[in-house]
Chains A and B, each alone.
Chain A
Amino acid sequence: MALLKSCVRSGRNVFAVILRREFHKTAPALVQVTVRDALTQAMDEELERDERVFLLGEEVAQYDGAYKVSRGLWKKYGDKRIIDTPITEMGFAGIAVGSAMAGLRPICEFMTFNFSMQAIDQIINSAAKTSYMSAGLQSVPIVFRGPNGHSAGVAAQHSQCFAAWYGHCPGLKVLSPWSAEDAKGLLKAAIRDDNPVVFLENELLYGVAFEVSEEAQSKDFVVPIGKAKVERQGTRITLVSHSRYVGHCLDAAAVLAKEGIECEVINLRSIRPLDMETIESSVAKTNHLVTVEGWPQFGVGAEICARIMEGPAFNYLDAPVIRVTGVDIPMPYAKILEDNSVPQIKDIIFSVKKSLNI
């Protein structure tokens, strides 16, 4: 048990450690998997495992998915389980929620979460609140998934991050994967969960390949919802973020390591529930915290700051928490403006040094 605990905290793969220690076999086979393929695999495995699971959304079937995340699924499972909808988000989200109420387990895809605003009433009022309003009589086992946050050159109406919006609502679980392992394990967990889950992917991550452990390649690999992952051990400062910015934090950490500053990087994985325990343990160790996200106002970083202040970790802080955020403007189109509207690695490095007073 202690072994397990220490492995989980240090972020090392439990099975890899056990294998190495006790069996002295060859190292577990790691494969390179893109986030896109991890998502396709997750859906394929869950569609196979449970007849009640089905996918609906725009262009998910015959087009193989607007971003090819559902490639091959329609060919394999057919019209009944992979459904192309008209461009009517409010309508098909409502239909999906209704089907979940009656016992199915839908995966409702939004081509991007920007379009989920058309359907947000169904997500919040019909899905999120129902278990509570019915005192547990009526469940809504649904997953809303799709790309979230900024892409490249798609301008203001197509670049918003909805983590804060959905994270604000009780009754929803909100996930934001970064790596391929996150994508696969969290999506499988979301589909198996009996509650409405908002699954925020990122278009720019779809094509990125990650090493996936043997354990994660299994059909029963599930990542627990509500638990953050320490991607990198560190001692001087804690960097917390979700989705694409985890990569930025790791890049910043690599640069800072050359200067002898070891950063601990936490990948939130879950926006709601938020794993404050992992963050607090880390801050207790490092005494410094930087968060990274999209728009600043009323965001994930603001929530973390508030909770740090409300909890035991406040007394461990040697400097105020610094939030590195997107600029507080609608997303511009021109490349130079867009590049300067989002958190950059240099911003993270600058914040670390400022926090550490270097």
Chain B
Amino acid sequence: MLLSLNSMRKMLTIITNVLKGSASKNVARVVAARTYADFTAEAAFDVKKCDTHRLDDAPPTKSVLTREDALKYYRTMQVIRRMELKADQLYKQKIIRGFCHLYDGQEACAVGIEAGIKPTDHLITAYRAHGYTYTRGVSVREILAELTGRRGGCAKGKGGSMHMYANNFYGGNGIVGAQVPLGAGVALACKYLGTDQVCVSLYGDGAANQGQIFEAYNMASLWKLPCIFICENNKYAMGTSVERSSASTEYYKRGNFIPGLRVDGMDILCVKEATKYAADLCRAGKGPIVMELQTYRYHGHSMSDPGVSYRTRDEIQEVRSKSDPISLLKDRMLANNMASVEELKEIDVQVRKEIEEAAQFATTDPEPPLEELCNHIFYNDAPLEVRGTLPWAKLKSVS
């Protein structure tokens, strides 16, 4: 019986997958002989329909993904995952100090949003910012070196975990909720300057009750600002669950007169389609819009929170096994023959290497020089004298 090429490919995939557990050299050699032309170049995936608020239509329920993009998203999410785990390790070794809020579990949000906007668009978030710092263009090296407080850090060691910046990325902000009006302000600038750029203004379920957010909603709506307000709802604000903090947990509706979308934040394609939809809306002058991404963080609120006094280990494990964003993408890619297991493993190996090298740099780079202590108090200003710890200690500050 003649078998179609397609079913032959499918069989080969099935065989490969079944045999992947074994260390059979034969299988590896056979697989290595496959060229990339064997892989699916592009496929359409079903994504969950977003709940809408005051919207007549919704983001598409089918997302087209190319092999190239799939590999890119996979790699980016893995980098964020491994970078955060490395930060966990370095914190426990006391090489990172102070506050450290980790993003593992939420990777699909950062990577999906970045996939839905352009590099010329703007983004601002709160303190769980390492993932966004990376997607907005800062290298792992510079991020880890900032966490370890070295001169090679993206803020020269002066900012730390919560204060990393990049072009069109306004941090990294330590005060809950304060970044949201800032984001609306960035959107104001976009409109004012006549660009077609948008600003993504992120906050969490804990911040969602902040009064200043509602003030920002009002003005953004009044002035039709190209602002995408995004609530990353990971169900817990430090130790307080959403039920205990919010009279309404439908965060996508909290903008009231502002249209809203509720999005599956563990599915990178759903996030991407929703973000693209929101960005198009804003670029057409119909902004602002509110998005709620339903996501989950594996770590506690910060490194000083074990994260199990207010939720069960079972819950965490359940999310890890059923909804892990990286696994979800990986399964899709493999099931549709967009990549091989070995190829993805190779990416994992490369990512681990990249993180190790970055960590090596971050732990060996020297601390900032004392001459740097007073610099950058002001921007683009004449040098000034700064009082030190003693009245006759006159330190120098340049901008």
Q: Which residues of A contact B (CB under 8 A)?
A: 58-59, 62-63, 66, 84, 86-88, 90-91, 114-115, 117-118, 151-158, 296-297, 322-330, 332-337, 340-344, 347, 350-351
Contacts and interface: CB of A to CB of B under 8 A. Distances in A.
A325 B160 CA distance: 23
Nearest to B387: A328
B209 A87 contact: yes
Nearest to A338: B149
Interface stretch (B101-109, B237-245, B344-352): B237-245
Contacts of B240: 58-59, 62-63, 84, 86
A149 to B, nearest CB: 15
Given A152-B97, A155-B160, A340 B209 contact: no
B98 A332 contact: no
A343 B206 CA distance: 36
A335 to B, nearest CB: 6
A66 to B, nearest CB: 7
Contact of B162 (A155, A336, A337): A155
A342 B393 CA distance: 13
Contact of A329 (B177, B237, B370, B386): B386
Given A58-B238, A153-B160, A340-B370, 8 more contacts: A91-B209, A154-B99, A329-B374, A332-B157, A333-B155, A333-B158, A340-B373, A347-B389
Contacts of B207: 87
A334 B370 CA distance: 11
Which of A156, A158, A296, A337 gathers most chain B CB within 10 Å? A337
A115 B207 CA distance: 13
Interchain residue pairs A-B with the least CB separation, the first 3:
A153-B98, A333-B160, A334-B149
Contact of A337 (B99, B157, B246): B157
13 contacts: A58-B240, A62-B239, A62-B310, A91-B211, A153-B149, A153-B160, A155-B159, A157-B173, A157-B174, A333-B98, A334-B158, A343-B389, A347-B390
A86 B206 contact: yes
B389 A115 contact: no
Contacts of A297: 387
Interface of B: 97-99, 146, 149-150, 153, 155, 157-163, 173-177, 206-207, 209-211, 237-240, 244-246, 309-310, 367-368, 370, 372-374, 377, 386-391, 395, 397
A333 B389 CA distance: 17
Contact of B390 (A58, A91, A342, A351): A351
B237 A330 contact: no
A118 B149 contact: no
A323 B159 CA distance: 28
A87 B389 contact: no
Contacts of A63: 238-240, 309-310
B157 A334 contact: yes
A87 B180 CA distance: 14
Contacts of B209: 86-88, 91
| B contacts with A: majority SS | loop
B301 to A, nearest CB: 9
Contacts of B389: 324-327, 342-344, 347
Contacts of A322: 390-391
B374 A327 contact: yes
B164 to A, nearest CB: 10
A329 B157 contact: no
A214 B277 CA distance: 68
Nearest to B397: A329
B174 A158 contact: yes
Given A87-B237, A333-B163, A336-B367, A341 B310 contact: no
Contacts of B210: 87-88
B370 A324 contact: no
Contacts of A62: 239-240, 244, 310
B390 A350 contact: yes
A157 B162 contact: yes
Given A325-B387, A335-B149, A155 B239 contact: no
Given A86-B240, A87-B207, A115-B175, A332 B373 contact: yes
A80 to B, nearest CB: 15
A340 B390 CA distance: 12
Contacts of A335: 97, 149, 367
A326 B388 CA distance: 7
Given A62-B310, A63-B309, A327 B98 contact: no
B344 to A, nearest CB: 36
A189 B188 CA distance: 49
Nearest to A111: B238
A337 B370 CA distance: 7
A329 B391 CA distance: 15
B98 A154 contact: yes
A333 B159 contact: yes
A158 B373 contact: no
B38 to A, nearest CB: 49
Given A87-B206, A342-B389, A327 B373 contact: yes
Nearest to A326: B389
B312 to A, nearest CB: 14
A84 B390 contact: no
B302 to A, nearest CB: 10
Nearest to B305: A63
Contacts of B173: 157
Contacts of B373: 327, 329, 332, 337, 340-341
A8 B28 CA distance: 85
Contact of B174 (A58, A91, A155): A155
